[in-house]
Structure 1
Amino acid sequence: MDSRGLIIGMIILLQTTVGILGNFFLLSHYLILYYHECSLKTTDLILKHLTMANTLIILSKGVSHIMTAFGLKEFISEIGCRFSLYVQRVGRSMSIGSTCILSVFQAITISPRSSDWKGLKTKAPKYIGLFLSLCWILYLIVNIIFPIYLLNKKVKSQNMTKAKSFEYCSPGDRDGIMDSLYMALFVFPEVLFSVLILWSNGFMVVILYRHKKQVQHIHSTNVSFRASPESRASCTILILVSFFLTFYTLSSILNACIAFLNSPSWWLVNINNIISMCFPSFGTLVLMNNAPTFSRFCFIWIRNKKSPNFKVAM
């Protein structure tokens, strides 16, 4: 294995390790929170599903890319490759879907009480869980089209040299039917979700700016001012969603370049692999760094473990 393959392999291995540990601790946090409180806030519920989607991406995409970088291309069978692609697509679809739901829900939450969204503020939390479950069912069904189609389609070995991707477990040659399905079932919904994310982010920025202006007269040299919990939560979500949009946009651009180039360079393909792994791997660090409730609840949990007689106030 050459030095460049070793460098890429080590970077993706680092991303995968950090991502698995971060998502594991975040999922553990939500499980502990649910165990003690028997319910989750709507935002925490969405973040739990987002974490699960990112975990699927890391386990499927990260492992296959590590094997590619270290030259272990024959480790998984063809069926295993198709299953890995299926898991990647489900995780990617749920990741952007959950991010969109999170951004739109937070925009509804902080909207003024006098706005036209007053009714949605009370109704939205009741249906978020159902909507997330329907998204999982929909994407599990829709994404299975591609593994079945690719397994039924016999691709001759001489045609494999025409594939536009150097990735292990890549989809291989594509035709008009597959391109049309991909555009209708994935590209168009993802573009729509991206527009909704941008709109809701812009809306939140405007609301937070107006709120800051309204409370400035309260702030004085004698009275300390602290941002409201909703404002802090909105800022955390803005950072997370902006982080997602940045790497998602870069990955989409690179994917388009790889699709249109007859012979994309080795570096272009692997840089795209690294960028596509950034949000699933490091998005949890953004949450843990900007959410004081995470560290506070971990402290309470540790204290409970050390003090068996301590009871949580209900």
Structure 2
Amino acid sequence: MPSQVFVRGMLYLSLTVVGVPGNTVVIVAFLLLLYQENRLLTADAIILHLACVNLLVVGVRCLLEMLASFHLADVFGDTGCKAVIFVYRTSRALSIWLTFLLSAYQCLSIAPPGSRWVSVRSFVSNYLSFVFLILWTLNTCMTTAAILFSFSSKNESVLANDAINVEFCHVNFPSKLSKQANGAAQVGRDVVPMALMTLASLIILVFLYKHSQQVKGLRSSGGCGAGGGSGGAEQRATKAVVTLVTLYVVLYGVDNGLWVYTLTVRKSMSSSLISDLRIFFSSLYAALSPLVIIVSNRKVNSRLRCLTQENPVVEKATSLSTM
């Protein structure tokens, strides 16, 4: 096996090993919460949806790329390439927009009572399923090019000068104009939520700074009990969202920079290195974001503790019953 293929396989293996269990843990934790409380808060529902989409990103793309790199399985025929690239691009785009939705909702949650933004937050909560449907429809429609122009790399008869090489598959655009138009649409789809979530995060950071200054003022004036309880939980939630947004902006910023390079450089199909780097950085967010959620979200932590504590109890009860 060539060293480049081995390194490629190991990189995708690392993403799979981290991303699949991490997102699965988050999904299971929130499903347990839904089962126990028969409802999910809006932010929790968004995080659950985000974890499901990130699991698709890692499971569909990284796992299959790893298996193909090590020659354990190969689904990258013409139909397989169309399906994998379509699902990957759709779920990747949804991951971006759901991160924006989470940051926007967290930003709305710190709006003062009586503000018009409170009504916007209530609208999002009441029609969250409709918001999810819009995001799915929008991003699915924008990735239809993957179905039309994706082919297996084995099918050299359809290879064109404007094709984008993604190792086992290539996206074969009919012309340079169609390639650049599709690329510009994808960049615009990513940049818009990036700008909006960055703005929302800046607002959250300003709020946290002002809140910390108020707490210091209360403490210096002899006040007690400031900054505890729900205020601490709210700050943890806002800091977690800011961390997710920062992670997104860094990784997807690199991803989109490489995508722009792919669109502008000539003979981009000659090597799959750029495409591999793009997939790695965008999938890295899907793999690392559940770790941020697991560390920062108390609801996830409490459900995980319950699961780990129940097993010894069950084993102990079983042993006593046999005596």
Shorter-chain TM-score range: 0.7 to 0.9
Give, in angstroms, the shift of residue 12 of structure 1: 1.3
Q: What letter matches 1:172 in structure 2?
A: N
Report the equivalent of 2:244: 240
Q: Residue 107 of structure 2 contacts residue 203 of structure 2 at CA under 8 Å; is this kept in 1?
A: yes
Q: What letter matches 2:157 in structure 1?
A: S
Distance 1:43 1:90, change over 3 A: same
Query: Which blocks of at least 5 consecutive residues in structure 1 are unaligned?
Result: 308-314
Distance in 2 of aligned mates of 1:94 and 1:13: 23
Report the equivalent of 1:180: 181
Report the equivalent of 1:17: 17
Q: Secondary structure at the match of 2:299?
A: helix
Distance in 2 of aligned mates of 1:254 and 1:5: 20
Relative to structure 2, which stretch is displaced further, 187-196 or 209-218? 187-196
Q: Secondary structure at the match of 1:252?
A: helix
Distance in 2 of aligned mates of 1:139 and 1:271: 22
Relative to structure 2, which stretch is displaced further, 252-261 or 16-25? 252-261
Distance 1:68 1:166, change over 3 A: farther
Mapping 1:122-137, distance limit 5 Å: 122-137=122-137
Distance in 2 of aligned mates of 1:174 and 1:260: 16
- Identity of paired residues, percent? 22
Report the equivalent of 1:82: 82
Distance in 2 of aligned mates of 1:36 and 1:208: 32
Distance in 2 of aligned mates of 1:85 and 1:195: 26
Q: What letter matches 1:189 in structure 2?
A: R
Give, in angstroms, the shift of residue 21 of structure 1: 0.7
Report the equivalent of 2:293: 287
- Give TM-score, length-normalised by structure 2: 0.83
Distance 1:261 1:64, change over 3 A: farther
Distance in 2 of aligned mates of 1:6 and 1:55: 24
Relative to structure 2, which stretch is displaced further, 218-227 or 250-259? 218-227
Relative to structure 2, which stretch is displaced further, 219-228 or 56-65? 219-228
Mapping 1:141-180, distance limit 5 Å: 141-148=141-148, 157=157, 159-160=159-160, 163-175=163-175, 176-177=177-178, 179-180=180-181
Give, in angstroms, the shift of residue 164 of structure 1: 3.7
Distance in 2 of aligned mates of 1:293 and 1:73: 38
Report the equivalent of 1:310: none
Q: Secondary structure at the match of 1:82?
A: helix
Mapping 1:249-264, distance limit 5 Å: 249-264=253-268
Distance 1:165 1:58, change over 3 A: same
Distance in 1 of aligned mates of 2:158 and 2:131: 45
Distance 1:298 1:64, change over 3 A: closer
Q: Residue 183 of structure 2 contacts residue 260 of structure 2 at CA under 8 Å; is this kept in 1?
A: no
1:49 aligns with 2:49: yes
Q: Secondary structure at the match of 2:218?
A: coil
Relative to structure 2, which stretch is displaced further, 48-57 or 169-178? 169-178
Report the equivalent of 2:35: 35
Distance in 2 of aligned mates of 1:181 and 1:88: 16
Count the aligned residue pairs.
304
Give, in angstroms, the shift of residue 260 of structure 1: 1.9
1:98 aligns with 2:98: yes
Give, in angstroms, the shift of residue 300 of structure 1: 3.1
Relative to structure 2, which stretch is displaced further, 251-260 or 68-77? 68-77
Q: Residue 90 of structure 1 contacts residue 139 of structure 1 at CA under 8 Å; is this kept in 2?
A: yes
Distance in 2 of aligned mates of 1:17 and 1:156: 33
Q: Residue 5 of structure 1 contacts residue 69 of structure 1 at CA under 8 Å; is this kept in 2?
A: yes
Distance 1:268 1:189, change over 3 A: closer
Q: Residue 111 of structure 1 contacts residue 207 of structure 1 at CA under 8 Å; is this kept in 2?
A: no
| Deviations 1:98-125 (CA, angstroms, capped at 9, x unpaired) | 1111111100001223544232243332
Q: Residue 67 of structure 1 contacts residue 73 of structure 1 at CA under 8 Å; is this kept in 2?
A: yes
Distance 1:262 1:292, change over 3 A: same
Give, in angstroms, the shift of residue 13 of structure 1: 0.5
Distance in 2 of aligned mates of 1:302 and 1:73: 34
Distance 1:195 1:182, change over 3 A: same
Select the structure with the greater relative contact order (CA < 8 A; seq sep ≥ 6). Answer: 1
Report the equivalent of 1:311: none
Please, what is the CA RMSD of the aligned residues? 2.9
| Deviations 1:269-302 (CA, angstroms, capped at 9, x unpaired) | 4333322221011110111112233212222345
Give, in angstroms, the shift of residue 250 of structure 1: 0.6
Relative to structure 2, which stretch is displaced further, 160-169 or 231-240? 160-169
Give, in angstroms, the shift of residue 5 of structure 1: 2.1
Report the equivalent of 2:306: 300
Distance in 2 of aligned mates of 1:120 and 1:216: 31
Distance in 2 of aligned mates of 1:158 and 1:108: 50
Distance in 2 of aligned mates of 1:190 and 1:78: 27
1:278 aligns with 2:284: yes
